[in-house]
Amino acid sequence: MHLSVTTVVGSLVGLTGVIIWRVREGRTAVSTKKILMPPLGMATGFGMFVVPAFRIPWSWAGIAFLLGAMVLAYPLLRTSRLVRQGESIMMQRSNAFFGVILVLAATRLLARGYFDSILSVQQTAALFFVLAFGIIFRWRAEMFFEYRRLINSQS
């Protein structure tokens, strides 16, 4: 398993960015826009599949999406929830939340080393994009439904 220094540094920079973003985001009230914009913004990444080098078989994409949505999203769902604080709805994370993020990042880095040896770099990127989209889609969908329940219970 050979990972380039660029891959490791890039992954660490991305991880740091995600952690900083999540800390900042956790300090403000949750809204429908804040829940739905990340997956909608991320969905623009599907444009990569216009380029033939990024294309993967539909079955691989389906498996990656389902693995992300059904398995890898689960720890995020278990370590974060929405709570009402006065008139606001806030994200409440357990102390394990950032540990889960670190484990997911390490898993991705280690798996990438394997997949890069059997797939092109572009196909590996596409596969992990679909996997990550499955994670964020499920997590944010569950968060949206929880948010709607909290909003409706206030009425």
Q: Write phi, then psi, for 83 (nearest 5 degrees).
A: -135, 150
The answer to whether the beta carbons of residues 120 and 55 sit under 8 Å apart is no
pTM to 2 decimals?
0.81
**pLDDT tens digit sequence for 67-96:** 999 998 898 888 888 999 888 898 887 777
- Helical spans, DSSP H, in 1-155: 5-25, 32-43, 58-66, 73-78, 96-118, 121-154
Q: Which of 136, 151, 146 is nearest to 18 (CA)?
A: 136
- Cα gap 104→102, rounded to integer Å: 5
**pLDDT tens digit sequence for 92-151:** 877 777 777 777 778 777 877 788 788 888 898 899 899 989 998 999 999 999 999 999
pLDDT band at 155 (very low <50, low <70, confident <90, very high): low
